[in-house]
Amino acid sequence: MSELMPSAAPPAADTEIAAIRAKLIGNKVTIAQAAAAFNVSERSVYLAIEARSIPFVKVFGVRYLEPDDLRRALVLDQSSAPRGRGRPRKAA
């Protein structure tokens, strides 16, 4: 019966995978981590990704973002937003 059950990967393989993953990811953060760090909703981050204003790397099915790219995209998004509520009222 033990022949049919796949054996767990040896610890050396786990460390190799962890080293490769660290090399690919570096200081990148997940979408949830980025949203929490920049105090925005996850949906805002997803919308920026869909608009292609934030580059990302997908590793093992998880999207990772550079914090600097996200910061730059959020600053650009805020600077293009209209100021105030629109046209000023006419003086009486």
Sign, CA dihedral 33-38-41-44, equals negative
Residue 54 and residue 65 in contact, taking contact as beta carbons nearer than 8 Å = yes
The confidence band for 80, taking pLDDT boundaries of 50, 70 and 90, is low
Q: For residue 32, is it within any domain?
A: yes
Q: What is the CATH number of the domain that holds 63?
A: 1.10.10
How many domains are there within the chain? Answer: 1
Quick check: is 50 in a domain? yes
The pLDDT tens digits for 43-71 are 988 888 888 778 888 877 888 888 888 77
Q: How far apart are CA 59 and CA 23, in angstroms?
A: 11
Is 36 a member of any domain?
Answer: yes
In a domain, 73, yes or no: yes
Q: Give the tens place of pLDDT for each residue, 3-18.
A: 555 555 556 777 887 7
| Within-domain flag for 1 | no
Residue 20, domain member (yes or no): no
For 61, the domain range is 25-79
Does residue 8 belong to any structural domain of this protein? Answer: no
